[in-house]
Amino acid sequence: MPTSTSAEASPGLRWDIFCRVVDNLGDAAICWRLARQLANEYSLAVRLWIDQPQALSRLVPGTRPGQMQDRVSIEYWRDDDSRLTLTEPEQLADVVIAGFACELPAGYRHCMTLRRPVWINLDYLSAQDWVDSHHGLPSPKADGLTEYFFFPGFTPESGGLLREADLIDRCERFDRNPSARFDFLRSIGIDAEPGERFMSLFCYSDSPVADLIDGLTAIEGRVPAATVMAGKTVMPVSWRLLIPEGIAPELSVRCGVRRVPFLSQTDYDQLLWSCDLNWVRGEDSLVRALWSGRPLIWQAYRQSGEAHRPKLEAFLNRWLKIAKLPEPAATAWRKAHTAWNTAPDPASRALISAALPPTLDQLPALAAGARRWRTAQIEQSDLAGRLVAFAAGKL
């Protein structure tokens, strides 16, 4: 179903977003970004109901239930909360978003049958072809309510991607400032030395991080010391892997690893902008890395029976179609993703080490492709705008 690109909201409309935290970070991060954008860019009255507010407080320091943060009312979602179990119809929102198919509170759902707000199920991001035909479809319920499926995606026919109005401008200002990268890295305890390049790593617990570090160590072992070429001193390249606290804690003392604090959403964007290659996972960090315009390697959420593979392949195909990489770069990028997303076992240990050298050799081409992808994608409207337009058509 095609999605309107016009986004006109009636200021003051009330939106309730419900979020049950599953992976402790991604769900909370996405629902918060959406809530903040709706409140600030569309002047909507937004309440974010979240069942684990402590997860949100890690991403947005200072956030506490029962208070306003960036014009969003943060609410602790407990099923025994009288505001949810004894809700009067006039207290309900005009638009209700169930984050990632979460089940709405029973009392709240009952009152919805009396007021009939627009009910949207915000689903997970996918690049698969079926998203376009399923996006926006209604699902009538026995109680007379209708739930609408809203699928984030990469095409004009999907729900789009989260992107604040000023995100690309902020990134480009960062790029134009020659000291921004070093100033930011210094602010999180990293002093960059001549010849050092940086990767950020945000991954799941079953990632082959040790093999990645071994591969980087092997690459550096083959690099000669500083040499003089054409009258200039050429420094060897040393890769530093920046890993947030709590990710792969057993590898803290490995050579080349630099620990950084667990970062707020704002600082995480700057970390992505500061790195030459970003290893990301899930949905939220993938989208932020895509908007950074830097090369990335994505780890899909692993599912039994390799069910995540079609989702990974669909993303690779769609990204490569727009990025227009030369064949050696496209091949290296695909192999790196295959290695990083292969189930860990002794037979797969050498995959990432073998895929790493050609990937790093192709970084200039990958960086150019990442910028081409971003330039093409920002011509589309963003997820929040499409949500507002969709809801306006149902009110």
> Do 211 and 319 belong together in one domain?
yes
Residues 113 and 229 in one domain: no
Q: Are 145 and 239 members of one domain?
A: no
Whether residues 77 and 38 fall in one domain: yes
Domain assignment of residue 193, yes or no: yes
Say if residue 37 is in the same domain as residue 181: no
Out of 27, 211, 276, 284, the active site residue is 27
CB burial of residue 152 (10 Å; 0-12, 13-18, 19+)? buried
CA distance 385 to 3: 10
Q: Which of 214, 212, 238 is nearest to 225 (CA)?
A: 238
Task: Decide if 131 is inside a domain.
Answer: yes
Question: Are 231 and 273 in a shared domain?
Answer: yes
Whether residue 113 is found in the same domain as residue 232: no
Same domain, 244 and 219: yes
Q: Read off the DSSP letter of residue 86.
A: S
Q: Is residue 7 part of a domain?
A: no
111 and 87 in contact (C-beta within 8 Å)?
Answer: yes
Please identify which of the residues 16, 123, 132, 283 carries the catalytic annotation: 283
Task: Indicate if 320 and 192 belong to the same structural domain.
Answer: yes
For residues 210 and 257, membership in a common domain is answered with: yes
Length of the chain: 395
Quick one: 342 and 200 in the same domain?
A: yes
The pLDDT value given to residue 1: 39
- Is 354 inside any structural domain? yes
Residue 72 lies in a domain: yes
- 321, burial (CB in 10 Å: exposed 0-12, middle 13-18, buried 19+): exposed
Q: Residue type for 312, please?
A: L
Q: How far apart are CA 154 and CA 151, in angstroms?
A: 10
Whether 283 sits among the annotated catalytic residues: the reply is yes
pLDDT tens, the chain, 395 aa long? 334 444 555 667 999 999 999 865 889 999 999 999 999 999 999 999 999 999 898 888 888 999 999 999 999 999 889 888 877 888 899 999 999 989 999 999 999 999 899 999 999 999 999 999 999 999 999 999 999 999 999 999 999 999 999 999 999 999 999 999 999 999 999 998 877 899 999 999 888 888 898 888 888 766 555 444 455 544 456 899 999 988 877 776 666 789 999 999 999 999 999 999 999 999 999 999 999 999 999 999 888 888 889 999 999 999 999 999 999 999 999 999 999 998 877 767 789 989 999 999 999 999 999 999 999 999 999 999 999 999 999 99
* Cβ–Cβ < 8 Å for 247, 203: yes
* CATH code, 274: 3.40.50.2000
**In terms of Cα–Cα distance, which of 265, 260, 202 is closest to 62?**
265
For residue 59, give the 3-state DSSP assignment.
Answer: helix
Packing angle of the helix pair 327-340, 349-361 (nearest 10 deg): 150
Nearest partner of 35 among 387, 393, 391, judged by Cα: 387
Rounded to two decimals, what is the model's pTM?
0.92
Helix (H) or strand (E) holding 175: helix 167-176
184 and 212, same domain (yes or no)? yes
- For residue 74, what is the domain's CATH number? 3.40.50
27 catalytic per annotation: yes
Structural domain count of the chain: 2
Q: Where are the beta strands (DSSP E) in 267-324?
A: 277-281, 296-299
Task: Report yes or no on 9 lying in a domain.
Answer: no
Instruction: Give the pLDDT of residue 4.
Output: 40
Classify residue 135: in a domain, yes or no.
Answer: yes
Rg of the chain taking only CA atoms, in angstroms: 22
User: CB–CB of 164/37 below 8 Å?
Assistant: yes
**Which residues constitute the domain of residue 342?**
167-377
Does 334 map to a domain? yes
72-76 and 67-69 strand pairing? antiparallel
Bridge-partner residues for 227, per DSSP? 234
